């Protein structure tokens, strides 16, 4: 990496990747819309980036006339408020460092404009927390470009709440915090990804009807109308966070899985208690839930757990010895090709198994918890070309 003040170089490039995270104690509802402060703490597992990741290249140059951004090859409005929050907060950190330590060093980088290019290696249609990975990647890449350190999760949080959890690998909690300015609403690693080597994560992509209500609008309506959500946030989640952290520390899959399923169900219950009600699960999701409970009942222990975010796709947590049998069971009950009808053909696609791998050119995946954001050293992988414009766009 070359520093931006290196003016022998016309354009400075930095490329980083960041992971998706899947909550096992769910975030739903803000107490502050602008700062994105949640009504309860949450906890997630960071997925390995071999499987799903965001990649962002940021270029910085005196030649650029304005900040610009491309998402998945398409230029987007840079003035979107959450994007502006992230840029503003990162630049504030740069100024703070300058005034503290090294006056004058960052003058150039602060006046320079940036070009941002971001891509996900998974279909956005899959509804897999793409904004969390995306904002984590943006903030991390900017921080590396501008050489700032410090509490970056609060900046990612202002892009997309759950993005703060993608700033760390392994098992990550997002403390709701108490302060009005949100300074204590930060993510923190509970255990690193190496802590529980047997844990596995599968993504079952249910061919989705389009998400009927976006997360931002949905959670606001829930906060406004659901008394069950208020009760959940105040009376249920605090105890559940403690139990979940203990289960993770002890690698107690039975407790971890049961809490994960209960929390997913309670989140969707509060969506149903919203007025008008919000439904993210469909009949296929419900059949997956039924299958998991029957499977566990068969073995008289919790070997597999499901969780659903704001969409019909299931994320499955299990342990290494059970993966292949459970995948066979899913294939049996949701045969991808045996039935010629479109309904069944589209029912379920297994990530890390044939179906989704056919769609995505993924390397053999590591269906395990993974590390946090990281920089890409291979400059041929920059998403922006030597001219500072996306390689893939016209």
For a second copy, the binding residues (CB under 8 A) are: 212, 227-228, 231-232, 235-236, 258, 261-262, 265-266, 268-270, 272-277, 279, 282-283, 286, 289-290, 293
Q: Do 378 and 57 touch, CB atoms closer than 8 A? A: no
CB of 341 to a second copy, least distance (A): 10
Find the shortest distance in angstroms from Cβ 357 to a second copy. Answer: 28
Structure tokens, 317: 């947590």
Q: Minimum distance from CB of 338 to a second copy (Å)?
A: 19
User: H or E stretch including 204?
Assistant: strand 199-206
Closest separation in Å from C-beta 66 to a second copy:
40
Q: Tokens for 205?
A: 């992509």
Strand, coil or helix: 75: strand
Q: Of 35 and 261, which has the nearer Cβ to a second copy?
A: 261
User: Strands 113-120 and 68-71: what pairing?
Assistant: parallel
Residue 70 or residue 267: which is nearer to a second copy going by CB? 267
| Cβ neighbours for 170, distance < 8 A, ≥ 6 positions apart | 45, 46, 189, 190, 191, 192, 193, 194, 195, 369, 370, 371
Residue 200 CB, shortest distance to a second copy, in Å, is: 22
At 231, list the tokens.
Answer: 């009760």
Pairing state between β 171-174 and 187-191: antiparallel
Minimum CB distance to a second copy smaller for 153 or for 285: 285
Nearer to a second copy by Cβ, of 69 and 233: the residue is 233
Residue 296: what are its φ and ψ, rounded to 5°? -65, -40
Q: Which is nearer to a second copy, 279 or 333 (CB)?
A: 279
Q: Which is nearer to a second copy, 143 or 222 (CB)?
A: 222
3-state DSSP assignment of residue 174: strand
Supply the minimum distance, in Å, between the C-beta of residue 27 and a second copy: 17
Residue-by-residue DSSP string for 234-262: IIIHHHHHHHHHHHHHTT-HHHHHHHHHH
Question: Which residues are CB-neighbours of 99 under 8 A, at least 6 positions away?
Answer: none
In whole angstroms, the minimum distance from the beta carbon of 236 to a second copy comes to 6
201, burial (CB in 10 Å: exposed 0-12, middle 13-18, buried 19+): buried
Instruction: State the Cα–Cα distance between residues 329 and 219, nearest whole angstrom.
Output: 34
| Rounded Cα–Cα distance for residues 32 and 219 (Å) | 12
User: Which residue lies nearer to a second copy by CB, 283 or 358?
Assistant: 283
Nearest residue (CB) to a second copy, 197 versus 212: 212
> How far from the centroid of its chain's Cα atoms is residue 42's Cα?
13
Termini Cα distance of the chain: 27
Find the shortest distance in angstroms from Cβ 325 to a second copy. Answer: 20
Min. distance of Cβ 319 from a second copy in angstroms?
A: 20
Contacts with 87 (C-beta within 8 Å, 6 or more apart), sequence order = 67, 114, 142
Residue placing its CB nearer to a second copy in the complex, 276 or 363: 276
Q: What's the closest the beta carbon of residue 54 comes to a second copy, in angstroms?
A: 31
Q: Pick between residue 198 and residue 283 the one whose CB is nearest to a second copy.
A: 283
């Amino acid at each position: 990496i070359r520093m931006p003040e290196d003016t022998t170089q016309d354009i400075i490039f930095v490329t980083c990747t960041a992971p998706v995270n899947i909550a096992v104690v769910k975030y739903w509802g803000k107490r502050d819309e602008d700062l994105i402060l949640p009504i309860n703490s949450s906890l997630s597992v960071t997925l390995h980036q071999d499987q799903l990741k965001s990649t962002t290249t940021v270029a910085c140059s005196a030649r650029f006339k304005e900040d610009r951004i491309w998402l998945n090859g398409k230029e987007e409005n840079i003035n979107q408020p959450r994007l502006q929050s992230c840029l503003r907060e990162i630049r504030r950190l740069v100024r703070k460092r300058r005034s503290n330590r090294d006056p004058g060093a960052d003058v150039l980088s602060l006046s320079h404009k940036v070009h941002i290019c971001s891509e996900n290696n998974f279909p956005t249609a899959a509804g897999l927390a793409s904004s969390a990975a995306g904002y984590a990647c943006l903030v991390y890449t900017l921080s590396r470009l501008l050489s700032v350190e410090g509490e970056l999760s609060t900046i990612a949080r202002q892009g997309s709440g759950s993005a703060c959890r993608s700033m760390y690998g392994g098992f990550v909690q997002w403390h709701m915090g108490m302060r009005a300015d949100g300074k204590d609403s930060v993510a923190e690693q509970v255990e690193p990804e190496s802590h529980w080597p047997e844990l596995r994560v599968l993504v079952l992509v249910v061919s989705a009807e389009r998400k009927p209500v976006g997360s931002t609008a949905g959670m606001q309506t829930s906060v406004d109308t659901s008394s069950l959500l208020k009760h959940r946030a105040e009376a249920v989640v605090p105890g559940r966070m403690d139990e979940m952290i203990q289960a993770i520390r002890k690698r107690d899959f039975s407790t971890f899985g049961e809490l994960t399923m209960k929390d997913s169900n309670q989140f969707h219950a509060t969506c149903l208690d919203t007025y008008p009600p919000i439904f993210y699960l469909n009949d296929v999701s419900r059949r997956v839930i039924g299958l998991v409970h029957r499977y566990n009942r068969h073995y008289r222990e919790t070997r597999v757990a499901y969780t659903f975010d704001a969409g019909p796709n299931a994320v499955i947590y299990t342990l290494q010895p059970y993966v292949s049998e459970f995948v066979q069971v899913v294939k049996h009950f949701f045969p991808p090709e045996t039935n010629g009808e479109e309904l069944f053909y589209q029912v379920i696609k297994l990530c890390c198994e044939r179906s989704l791998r056919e769609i995505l050119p993924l390397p053999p995946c590591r269906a395990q918890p993974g590390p946090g954001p990281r920089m890409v050293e291979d400059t041929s992988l920059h998403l922006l070309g030597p001219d500072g414009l996306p390689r893939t766009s016209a």
